[in-house]
Every structure is written in C-alpha cells, then in structure tokens.
Homo-oligomer: A and B are copies of this chain.
Amino acid sequence: MNSDAYQITWLIRRLFRAMSQRSGEHLTDLGITLADRAVLEFLYPEQTLSVPEIAERYQVSRQHIQVTVNHLLDMRLLTGKDNPRHKRSPLLHLTKKGFNLFEKVLQRDQTLIDAAFAKIPNTDQKMTRQTLETLLHNLS
C-alpha cells in the first residue's frame, strides 16, 4: 500500500504536473504548446517520421498528431519530403527554424533541470533512469 513501488507511481503523477507547469511557462512565449513540443522532440535532432508513425510512437490518435503537425508546418518549424513507402504521407523533419527553436526549448529546460538535479549524485541519477526505463518498457 505504502510501498516504494506505489509511492513511485504517485511521484510520477505529481512530477508530471509540476514539470508541465514549469515547462509550459517558457513554451508559451515561443508560440508552441506542449503537444507541439512532444512532436518536435520526436523529430529532434534529425529523425524523419510520418504522421501515423509519430502517433504510434507517442501512443495517441493519428488525428491529434495530424492537427499538431499541420500547426507546426504552418509555423515553418517542420517540412515534409517524399515518403518512399507512401506517396500521400510525407516524411516530416525539422526545418532549421524548428531545430533552432527546439534547441532553445532544450536550453531553457536544462536550466530548470540543472537546478532540480543539482544535489542528486550521478550514480543515483543513472539508477533512477534505468529503473524508469524498465518501468516504461513493462507498461508498454
């Protein structure tokens, strides 16, 4: 009931909310939303993926990614190039503008992350990362 395992799941929920709040603050003035950010992250630094591929990896509906991608295309943060596997579904990748913008996002995040992780030993960070990776794998 009050096991470490249960507490970890609780902490993940709280951390997600706290992070969204902090992160959202410095996303707004760059003109993008958290959904946009997620898509950019999948394509950074030089992935090329189609809309259905992103949807599958992010585990959301392709319609949702479609809307987000269209928004990013409008903003010229993405472009599409011919998909050899499907002529109607372009392979998306970051434009220079999109790349630069996402680097700025990462940079701002890094400042927050550095502060939050400052006093946590590297070994602990590594183990935490491994544990969470296993967890995500087990849940997917």
Contacts and interface: CB of A to CB of B under 8 A. Distances in A.
B134 A125 contact: no
Interface stretch (A62-70, A79-87, A89-97, A107-115): A107-115
A75 interface: no
Number of copies: 2
Contacts of A139: 15, 18-19, 22, 112, 116
Given A11-B132, A12-B12, A13-B16, A4 B115 contact: no
Contacts of A30: none
A124 B132 contact: no
A125 B4 contact: yes
Nearest to A107: B1
B7 A129 contact: yes
Interface of A: 1, 3-19, 21-22, 38, 41, 59, 106, 109-110, 112-120, 122, 124-136, 138-140
